[in-house]
Chains A and B, each alone.
Chain A
Amino acid sequence: MTRTGSTCDLPRCSTCRLPSVRHADSHGLTAEALATLAPDLGGFRLVFANGHLVAELSTMPDPGSGVTVASLASVLATDPDRLEPLFAGRTAPADGMAALNLALADDGAFIHLATGAHADAPIHVVFCTTDVGHPVLASTHSLVVADPDSSATVVETHIGVGPLAGAACANAVTRVVLAPQATVHHYTVQDLPDTAFHLGVVDVIADHDSTFTAHTLSLGAAIARHEVRVHLDGDGADATVTGLYQPAGNQYHDHPVLVEHNTTNCTSRQIYNGVLDDHGHGVFNGRIMVAPAGMGTDATQSNRNLVLSDRAEVDTRPRLEILADDVKCAHGATVGQLDETAVHYLRTRGIPEPAARGMLTYAFATEMVDRIGPPALRAWAAQLVADRLGAVLGDDGPPPDANPDAGTGTGTGTGTGTGSVHTEEVTP
């Protein structure tokens, strides 16, 4: 399932000039340019250009408040003791790129939520790849540490100012550590130029009664591999991992997902939808692992794919590995295409065929967009998805804000049906 091309071209990486100490350099990224690439989500913001913090574009809370939003490099410089327990005793990463990340990364986001702290607005971490005239490998290592009873929404955006002169590869690792009863909603929006490479890992350790959600939107990059690993280590922890991928052109989007139920009464949902066009190739490689101690597990996995082109390709591997007996696990996967009766129905109402297809495709994709909680993010994501699909949003703009399900991201789990879009999802 893995392609040799899906990782960075290492010989090239080794020759690329890894950025030096010019941390203050904005790499040509201006506030104006940034504004066209990513919206202001109203909260604290860290902006990284090619892996390094651009302080003048970032907004951080005052030191001493319950919410810390800073660059990892600055914390390392001023308060290394704070990081020590988070790196100490950490076993070597399983794959080469994660190891390379750990070796090379010298910056990233550091988000810490003190006990009982709640970040009201989304914390936005922008990773921007800019043209520096030569190939670049940006390795970032971010930490989100949520102490007991704290909560936050963290949005990671991977964007770039194209066209990029050389190979640009982003290798971003984010680690999330949830203490008991903590809640973190994590979003990844990957809308890099179609020449870039993206490698992302979100690795999550969830203690008892904590809640974690991950939402991944894979839109850009030539080759993108965005992995989410959740280790449910405390009783009653809950994880929802969702994603939407839309490879078109010659794009390749790979989504390894692992949810480990290591203890009792944890719940998890994996929901990924794919829309595949042109020569696009999408992969969902999801696993639910229930350890012998995982009694009372309730886990589901769903992957639905809409194939628009004869040249597109989709691989789906929803896997269950269960070593406990008191479990409820289900998974479903579908591969299908637009419901032709729905297309016909729209055409009989005077909508031209391309628009009808776009509308139905958007309806399929938007199911995942609707799970996005923060309204500004949802509106932006809706626009990105629509742009990528070449669909035109109606005069009423992106989907309405009111969405009872958003943020919590709970879903029905198993994918039944034909994988095609049904007429009920359309408002003619």
Chain B
Amino acid sequence: MTPPSNEVTELAEREYQHGFVTDIETEVIPKGLDEDVVRLISSKKNEPEWLLEWRLAAYRHWVTMSEPTWQKAHYPSIDFQDIAYWAAPKPKPKLNSLDEVDPELREMFDKLGISLAEQERLSNVAVDAIVDSVSVATTFKAKLAEAGVIFCSFSEAVAEHPDLVRANLGSVVPVRDNYYAALNSAVFSDGSFCYIPAGVRCPMELSTYFRINSAQTGQFERTLIVAEEGSYVSYLEGCTAPMRDENQLHAAVVELVAHTDAQIKYATVQNWYPGDAEGRGGIYNFVTKRGKCAGDRSKISWTQVETGSAITWKYPSVVLQGDDSVGEFYSVALTAGRQQADTGTKMIHIGKNTSSTIVSKGISAAHGQNTYRGQVKVLRSAQGARNFTQCDSLLIGSDCGAHTVPYIEVKNASAQVEHEASTSKIGEDQMFYCRQRGISEEDATSMIVNGFCREVFNELPMEFAVEAQRLLSVSLEGSVG
């Protein structure tokens, strides 16, 4: 009788649920990137001069940079001239109601399980759906406007709230921050913008669904959320992409700004196409997410469930600038098939009595490689800073890898920093106990893995938690037994 882990030799072709391609007429500009492409994107969007200049500055800096290679992931180098930097569903008139949305697009959202009309009727979630970089529908606008909340596509925000955008764009992730952030700054096509005025508690969860549909396009969206003094917002983000043999690049930037006493909760369930069991195709998910706790007692909390993408390179971070500000990072990352994830966070403590919590759960199955990379930095000014980090890794099968790479730098004597981590496989005794009670090996694995992640799932809104559990189970299918 061999332990189950040793039986993992054959990988069943895993089914990716969202792998349909919708036949929507798409407008794509030719592949390649130069200043003219940047100008073209900007002009297509009727952008003001300052934004074009901002993009060009980013582009000019990007060409001087080189692709980062420090991450623990192996992939053929990307030909940035072989990517189309603009793709939008063609019928793109201003939409006033959901009824005007292209029926095929509607059907696509139905397949994704996010029927916008249903959402609007049944739940209290405002949805902004982005297909191939362009925002196609935002629900609940009127109700949000009543509360003074602005929730719209990025393009719309540039047109209608230019001062707000200009004051905050790049304030957390500067154009020169890193290679992919610079690229995104040059070519970003659309995204979401959210502004919560002082003292307002956003009346509903805000949600964005991202979808890459066209082949050989990159998706470069930008999200900017500004929470004014004493406000609160909870934001959810979901991602899917069709199955394709080639790799597609997704290089997004998310910036959060929390002012005094404001709180932002940002949750992601990322299920981009991971490629097949042999590693063909899949999304390269190279994303820069960062929040700034600008004001005292502000709080930013990241929760992510990463089950998709061929390669994930992502470190949702918090700059704790205000005194007594709080940063949190809760993460579940699963790598199966040939997936590679290098993900974690940075907590930069600047203000006094700032505190941060990091809980990371990594699951590696099949040939998956999972790396937690996290930095906790306590600057000299951060009197009384606190950090607690816990990262646990679970290994399923003998061909996967789990890596834990924390960087802890402390320059203040009053700081308290704790880091704990563990790596192990699923306990054979746990597995046997479940099976003795009649639960199959696959169900038992899924149950134990979900139990392992419960601390993180508890941070998600209910419907997202259910979705996350389901995704984990689906992703593990074929990795056991």
Contact = CB atoms under 8 A, between A and B. Distances in A.
Contacts of B416: 334-337, 418-420
A309 B397 CA distance: 47
B174 to A, nearest CB: 24
Contacts, number: 125
Nearest to A316: B408
Interface stretch (A320-328, A341-349, A360-368): A320-328
30 contacts: A295-B398, A307-B410, A313-B409, A314-B410, A316-B408, A317-B407, A318-B404, A318-B406, A319-B406, A322-B402, A323-B401, A324-B395, A324-B398, A326-B425, A327-B395, A327-B423, A328-B424, A332-B418, A332-B419, A332-B420, A333-B408, A334-B418, A335-B415, A335-B417, A335-B418, A336-B418, A415-B420, A416-B420, A418-B418, A419-B416
A322 B413 contact: no
Q: Chain B binding site: helix, strand, loop or mixed by DSSP? A: strand
Contacts of A315: 407-410
Nearest to A319: B405
Contacts of A417: 418
Contacts of B406: 316-319, 333
Contacts of B417: 333-336, 419
Given A329-B423, A419-B418, A320 B403 contact: yes
Given A322-B402, A323-B401, A325-B400, A330 B414 contact: no
Contacts of B421: 318, 320, 330-332
B178 interface: no
Interface in B358-403: 378, 380, 393, 395-403
A130 interface: no
Interface of A: 292, 295, 305, 307-310, 312-337, 414-420
B397 A313 contact: no
Nearest to B378: A335
Contacts of A325: 5, 395-398, 400, 425
Contacts of B123: none
Given A307-B412, A333-B417, 13 more contacts: A315-B408, A319-B405, A320-B393, A322-B401, A322-B402, A326-B5, A328-B424, A329-B422, A331-B420, A332-B418, A333-B418, A334-B418, A335-B416
Contacts of A324: 395, 398
Contacts of A295: 398
B470 interface: no
A330 B380 CA distance: 30
Interface of B: 5, 378, 380, 393, 395-425
A259 to B, nearest CB: 14
A324 B402 CA distance: 9
Nearest to B407: A317
A384 B343 CA distance: 43
A283 to B, nearest CB: 10
B359 to A, nearest CB: 15
B413 A317 contact: no
A335 B408 contact: yes
A417 B418 CA distance: 8
Given A327-B425, A335-B408, A337-B413, A322 B393 contact: yes
Nearest to B72: A321
A327 B424 contact: yes
Nearest to B415: A335
A329 B394 CA distance: 11
B410 A317 contact: no
B58 to A, nearest CB: 30
Contacts of A336: 415-418
B191 to A, nearest CB: 35
Most buried by A among B410, B412, B424: B410
Contacts of A328: 422-424
B448 to A, nearest CB: 14
Given A327-B395, A327-B425, A322 B403 contact: yes
Given A325-B400, A331-B421, A414-B420, A317 B405 contact: yes
A333 B404 CA distance: 13
Contacts of B412: 307, 310
Nearest to B389: A333
A305 B410 contact: yes
A307 B385 CA distance: 13
Q: Which 4 A-B pairs have the closest CB atoms?
A: A325-B395, A335-B417, A320-B404, A333-B419
Given A307-B410, A325-B425, A334 B419 contact: yes
B77 to A, nearest CB: 24
B430 to A, nearest CB: 14
Given A325-B395, A325-B397, A320 B415 contact: no
